[in-house]
Amino acid sequence: MMKNALMFAAGAMTLALSLMPAQAAENTKVSNAAIDARGLTLVDFPRWKAVAPNIYAYEGFHPSKVMNTVSLIVVTNDGVVLVDAMGDPEQGQKLVDNIKKLTPQPVKYLIVGSDHGDHMAGNGPLKAAWPGLTVISTPASQKALEKNAAPPTELVTDKRTLTVGGTEIQILNLGRAHTGGDLVVYLPQTKIMFMSEVYLRGVFPAMRSAYPSEWVETVKKAQAMNANLYIAGHGWVDDPATMKAGLEDSRKALEAVIKEAKRLHAAKVPCVVAPATPGAPPPPPCEAVTKANWGVASDLALKDSQAQIALLKVYQEADGKLP
């Protein structure tokens, strides 16, 4: 039985690697999460790779079609555990189809690392394929996903440990970060941590529903656990040392954006948002954004669309008006 299990694991890993498009020309040193920064196009997705035996980082593309979105697949001999489920039903169905290529085992658990649509709008096909699926989230994410095709039914407020097929899976609420309902998943046997949108590698700190200063502290808690491999919810999946350095870069980018926004707030530089007009080009950025120097975050993916949102969120925090 052990021999058969090892043969299956090796075969699944070979299959996963063989199904990835050839990436000989991919520049693995580019940290910007934009798809074209690595010489890729949308036809290169989905793709995935084994980061340990029976553990896969699965990449689709973000609804903006600018960068990737990453999910985690953990295959055991007693079912599959999935973290995050892609950004639309079409990609959700591809995720289902590709999991079935990896294993005949059903997905038993779906863990909500991020409740945003780019990670959870693919839930419907998963629930259709595996009706017995258990969806786990924080209470905040459960509320946010009330109308989702597969709303959460079990909650984690601090920590929950699953053991599935002999694999220990720790579901951790390390604090509010990108969504306010953030979870990370830690696999102690391999020391792999999937951080979902707590870790945005090569992406400007997106703060639509974030808690800026708490986000920094949440990242520090993850770093203190000293995992071997940290996997981001957006951005490339490289070797462990590069991913650890990328997490540090991500935290520094967060800190730089918060510091600069606080400087502008203290200087009373206004950020009055002009109303958008349907069918017209978007209004120009507010005065504070035009005067900002984002430092190490200046060249990250989505800066143009996310800078003003982040600045306003930090202003809201400085004014004591966060939810």
Q: What is the mean pLDDT of the segment spanning 190-216?
A: 98
Residue 259 host element (H or E): helix 240-266
Q: How high is the pLDDT of residue 24?
A: 35
Candidate from 22-36, 61-75, 152-166, 301-315 with smallest mean pLDDT: 22-36
Contact 259, 145 (CB under 8 A): no
Q: What is the mean pLDDT of the segment spanning 142-171?
A: 97
- Whether 15 shows a pLDDT value over 90: the answer reads no
Q: What is the mean pLDDT of the segment spanning 221-240?
A: 97
Q: Report which of residues 166 and 281 the model is more confident about.
A: 166
Interatomic CA distance for residues 235 and 203, integer angstroms:
7
Q: How high is the pLDDT of residue 19?
A: 44
Interhelix angle 2-19/89-102, nearest 10 degrees:
140
Q: What is the mean pLDDT of the segment spanning 232-240?
A: 97
- Whether 75 shows a pLDDT value over 80: the answer reads yes
Q: pLDDT class for 211, splitting at 50, 70, 90?
A: very high
Q: How high is the pLDDT of residue 311?
A: 98
Interatomic CA distance for residues 121 and 31, integer angstroms:
26
pTM over 0.85: yes
The torsion region of residue 79 among left (phi > 0), alpha (psi -120 to 50) and beta comes to left
- Whether 214 shows a pLDDT value over 60: the answer reads yes
Q: How high is the pLDDT of residue 119?
A: 96
Q: What is the mean pLDDT of the segment spanning 94-121?
A: 97
Which of these, 208, 221, 216, lies nearest to 253 by C-alpha position?
A: 216
Q: What is the mean pLDDT of the segment spanning 47-68?
A: 95
- Whether 68 shows a pLDDT value over 70: the answer reads yes
* Alpha-helical runs (H) found in 167-239: 212-224
Interatomic CA distance for residues 264 and 31, integer angstroms:
28
- Whether 25 shows a pLDDT value over 50: the answer reads no
- Whether 58 shows a pLDDT value over 90: the answer reads yes
Question: What are the backbone angles phi and psi of residue 150, rounded to the nearest 5°?
Answer: -135, 80
Residues 6+ apart with CB under 8 A from 302: 33, 64, 66, 67, 203, 204, 206
CATH code of the domain made up of 2-255: 3.60.15.10
- Whether 1 shows a pLDDT value over 60: the answer reads no
- Whether 10 shows a pLDDT value over 50: the answer reads no
- Whether 28 shows a pLDDT value over 60: the answer reads no
* Residue ranges of domains in the chain: 2-255, 258-318
Pairing of strands 107-111, 79-83: parallel
Q: pLDDT class for 13, splitting at 50, 70, 90?
A: very low
| Other C-beta atoms lying within 10 Å of the C-beta of residue 251 | 20
Interatomic CA distance for residues 47 and 19, integer angstroms:
7
Interatomic CA distance for residues 234 and 150, integer angstroms:
22
Interatomic CA distance for residues 178 and 196, integer angstroms:
9
Question: What are the backbone angles phi and psi of residue 301, rounded to the nearest 5°?
Answer: -60, 145
Interatomic CA distance for residues 257 and 263, integer angstroms:
10
Q: How high is the pLDDT of residue 4?
A: 36
Q: How high is the pLDDT of residue 77?
A: 96
Residue 131 DSSP label:
T
Mean pLDDT over each residue of the chain, to the nearest integer: 91
